[in-house]
Chain A
Amino acid sequence: MNLTLAHLYPRLMNIYGDYGNIQALKYRCKKRNIKLNILNIHPNTPLAQNSFDLLFAGGGQDQQQLIIAKDLLKHKQVIHQAANQGIPMLTICGSYQLFGKYFQPFTGPKLPGINIFNAYTIASKQRKIGNIIVKWNSKLLVGFENHSGNTFLQGNTQPLGKVQIGFGNNGQDKTEGAVFNNVFGCYLHGSLLPKNPHFADHLIQLALKNKYGNIKLTPLNDSLELITHRQVINRTKKLRHPLLKYI
C-alpha cells in the first residue's frame, strides 16, 4: 500500500516543531509497510487535483504566514474538492487560521483564507501560551499552544474538541480547533502526532479507507508514546495546580 502526503510550505510553516507530525506519520506508516510519499508544496509549486491522500500544514511566523497566504488561495479549489471527497487533512496554528474565512492581523489588511472552516480569526493582545489538554471524542489530546489569534467558529461548525486545560480557540468558549469532513484544524504544537498516536492513526486510517477500503491497522508497540502522553497530562495538571505549581 502507498499513500501520498501533501506537505504545504515545509520551509515557511515549520515553527514550534510541527515537523514532528511528518516524522510521526512517516514512522507509523513505515512500521506497517505502508509507503508514504511526501509531496512538498512550496510557494509557486502546483498542487494537482487527486494528487494526494493526506495533507499537512503547520504553523509559521507572521511574516511567513503573509507570504503563503496569497499562494494558498491558488489551491483553494483543489483543497475544497479534496475536503469534499473526505481526504484527511491536519492544519495547525497559522495554517489552521488560513483554512478559515480570514485572519485579521494586528496591523495591515485582512488575510483572506480558503474558507474550509466556517470560522474567522482576529489577532489579540493576549498571547495564549502553555500546555493544553483537549477532549477529543472520548479520548484526550495533549500539546502546547502559542498563538495570539482568537478563532471563532460560526454556524454549526464543530470544534475538534473541548478544552480541559488551556486556552483553545479563543480562551473564552472552551472550544479548540475545528472539523469539516475529515479536515482538522487546531492550535496543538508539541509536536501533536507523536504524543497522540491514536490521532495519528486516525488520520492514516481515514486515508487508507478512501483508497483501499476498511483496513485494520496493525497495532504498534506504543508504550513509550502512551507513557509520554500520560506524563504530559500529569505535568500540565501540575503546572496549573494552584499550589503544586510552586514545587
Chain B
Amino acid sequence: MSSMHITGLISFYLALLIGKIIACLSKLFPFIGGTALPGLIALKIDPQLIKKFQQTNKLQSIIITGTNGKTTTSHLTSHILTTAGKKFIHNKTGSNLLRGIASVLINQSSIFAKLPANLALWEIDEAILPSAINQLKPKIVLFTNLFRDQLDRYGEINTVLTNWQQAVAKLPQSSHLIINLDDPSLNYLSHSFKHKPNISSFSLSQQLSTRQTPLHGSDALFCPKCLAPLNFTHIFTSHLSHYHCSKCSFKHNKPQLILKPTSKKSQYTIYNNQASFPVKFHLPGIYNLYNLLASINIAQTLNIPQDIIQTAVKDFQPAFGRAEEFKINNKQTKMLLIKNPAGFNAVLEMLAKKKHLLTQPLLIAINDLTADGKDVSWLWDVNFKLLKSRKSPVIITGLRSYDMALRLKYAGLNEKYITLLPSFKKALNQLKKSSSQPVYILPTYTAMLNIRKILKQQHLN
C-alpha cells in the first residue's frame, strides 16, 4: 500500500465505490446493463484498479488464455480447486475482458477493497492478455492453443503471437508458464520466457493421433523460428501435433505431462516424468483431453494432491454451451459451441467418430455479431466434406444461415438435405419434429444465446 500515492488511493476507492453502486443498481434494474458494466465504469475512473486490487490483497492469479478451450479448462480447474477446499475468485460467467475482471473484483471485495481470497482464477481473452499480465502479475499463465479466430477482431495469428511473446517476456521471474506443447506456436512462445525451470508443458501420446498430413487451413505449417516447413509425425486435430522443423533444431521436445489412452473408454493414464496415475474423464472429443491436461498441469503446479485431482476430474460437468446436455421434447440434446475452423473441425471429427454425424438430427446456427466474428469467411476453412454423404436433413439457421447453406452445397451435400430456416424459432420447431436422439445443435456464440432464450421461454409456457 505504501507504494501507492494518496491520489492513487482516492481514485481507487472512488472507482470501487462507484462500481459497487452501479452493481447494486443493475441488480435492482436489470435493464441497466450487463455484468461487466460496473467494471467498465470503474476502470474509466481508475485504469489501474486491477493492479491496485492485486497489490493491496497480494492476489495470486492463475490466467487461462488461448483460442479454444479457455472456458472448459477454467471450469475444470475451478472444480479441482473447489474439491481441494481452496478459496478463490473466478470470472466464471466467461466475462473475460478487463472490465469483466474488474467487475468480479468489485463484486467480491468489501467496501475497503478487501477480497475474500488471495487466489484468483481468470479466463482471459487472448487480445487483452498483455494488459492482464501487466496488471495482475500472475503466478501461473496457461496457453491452450492458437488458431485462426475472428480475424476481424483479433487480427492475424502472427499479430496475436507477437503480442503474447511481448507479454510473456514481461512475466515476473517467479511466474509459471504452462503451454500445450502440441501447438508449435506455443512451443515457440515459451522461448520468450527466460526463467526456464518455471516452464511446463503437456502433450497427447501418439496413440491418439488421427492423421499424418494436416487439413486445409491448419495454421502452423511452418517453423515459427526459421519459417521452413514443419514435418509432422502425428497429428491430433488441426495443427496440434508432434512435429519437428525440416531445417533448424526447433522441435516437439520433452513435455512434462503426457496423456495416454487405455483399453477402456473414458479412462486415461497421466504420465509425469517417472510417475503415472489413472484418471476417469467423461467429456467427449480430443480437445477436451487437452483441457483435462491443462487443468491437471495447473493443479499440480499448485501442489494439489493426486487423489483430489482424480476425484474432481471424474465427476466434472461441462460449462454453459460447451458439450452441454439437456432435453427437448424428451429427446437428449447436445449443444456444442462453434467459434472457428479448428473448433468446428474438432466437433465434426468427434461426431464422425461416434458415427452420429451422418445420421443424427443436426442444427447449425450461424450469426455474424461481434461475439461471433463479423466475417463468416471462416466457414470456408472448415472441412465439411465429412458431411457429404449424409442422407438426412441438416437444419440451418441464424443471421448468416444462407452462407452456411451455400457452404454445405459446395461441400457436396445434396441440396435436398439442406433445410434453410433463418428464423431460430422455426428452425427449433423443425428440429423438435425429428424422431431419433441424441439431437445436436452447433451454434456460434450469440446464436447459442438466442437458442437458449427461446428454449427457456417455450419451457416456461
Contact = CB atoms under 8 A, between A and B. Distances in A.
Interface of A: 10-12, 14-20, 23-24, 27, 61-63, 67, 127, 129-131, 144, 146, 189-191, 194-195, 224-225, 227-228, 231-232, 235
Contacts of B415: 224
B403 A146 contact: no
A63 B160 CA distance: 12
Interface string B217-240: 100011000010000000000000
B409 interface: yes
B124 to A, nearest CB: 23
Contacts of B381: 14, 17, 19
A61 B216 contact: no
Which 4 pairs between the two chains have the least Cβ-Cβ distance?
A: A17-B380, A20-B380, A17-B377, A228-B402
21 contacts: A15-B148, A16-B377, A16-B378, A17-B378, A19-B380, A23-B380, A23-B410, A27-B410, A61-B156, A61-B159, A129-B152, A130-B152, A144-B152, A190-B376, A190-B377, A195-B403, A195-B406, A224-B415, A228-B402, A228-B405, A235-B368
B375 A224 contact: no
Given A63-B158, A129-B375, A235-B368, 12 more contacts: A10-B216, A16-B375, A24-B410, A27-B410, A67-B227, A130-B374, A189-B377, A190-B375, A190-B376, A191-B380, A194-B410, A227-B402
Contacts of A12: 222
Contacts of B378: 16-17
A195 to B, nearest CB: 7
B157 interface: yes
A63 B227 CA distance: 9
A62 B221 CA distance: 15
Interface string B3-25: 00000000000000000000000
Contacts of B411: 23
Interface residues of B, number: 35
B151 interface: yes
B156 A194 contact: no
Contacts of B403: 195, 228, 232
Given A191-B377, A224-B405, A62 B410 contact: no
B400 A235 contact: yes
A231 to B, nearest CB: 4
A27 B413 CA distance: 12
A99 B201 CA distance: 43
Contact of B216 (A14, A127, A194, A228): A14
Contacts, number: 91
Nearest to B378: A17
Contacts of A130: 152, 374
Contact of B410 (A11, A20, A61): A20
A41 B103 CA distance: 52
A15 B151 contact: yes
A146 B406 contact: no
Contacts of B216: 10, 14, 19
Contacts of A15: 148, 151, 156
Contacts of B84: none
Contact of B377 (A20, A23, A61, A224): A20
Interface string B344-388: 000000000000000000000000100000111111110000000
Contact of B158 (A17, A23, A62, A127): A62
Contact of A17 (B227, B379, B400, B405): B379
B399 interface: yes
A235 B217 CA distance: 27
Interface in B383-418: 399-400, 402-403, 405-407, 409-411, 415, 418
B221 A11 contact: yes
B377 to A, nearest CB: 3
Contacts of B406: 194-195, 224-225, 228
Contacts of A190: 375-377
A189 B375 contact: yes
Nearest to A189: B377
Contacts of A18: 377, 380
A31 to B, nearest CB: 11
B433 to A, nearest CB: 23
Given A146-B151, A191-B377, A195-B406, A61 B400 contact: no
B156 A235 contact: no
Contacts of A61: 156-159
Contacts of A63: 158, 227
Among B152, B155, B406, the one with the most A-chain Cβ atoms within 10 Å of its Cβ is B406
A17 B410 CA distance: 13
Nearest to B341: A17
